[in-house]
Amino acid sequence: MPSCVERKRTQQRRALRLLVDAPEGMTETLVMAHGFNSELLVDLCIAGLAIAKVECMIAGGARLKLFA
């Protein structure tokens, strides 16, 4: 049975593969819809493997947090 650390690493790898396939980035909501939680996203950002940024989107002028 995989340890907690191994499961977390597997989740991180899955999230990174998802982000690699989205060169323009993804919204936080979409990343979470794929089953990833905010703690995992924060860990990836702290490790320098992902970037969270707020961008103004054209649709309705809403500001969305994007992960790249």
This prediction's pTM: 0.75
Q: What is the pLDDT of residues 7-45, one digit of tens each?
A: 999 999 999 999 999 988 888 888 889 999 989 999 999
Query: Alpha-carbon distance 49 to 67, whole Å?
Result: 10
Question: Domain range spanning residue 25?
Answer: 4-67
SS3 of residue 47 by DSSP: coil
CA–CA dist 51, 4 (Å, integer): 24
Neighbours of 60 (CB within 10 A): 5
How many whole angstroms separate alpha carbon 28 and alpha carbon 67? Answer: 7
Q: What is the number of structural domains in the chain?
A: 1
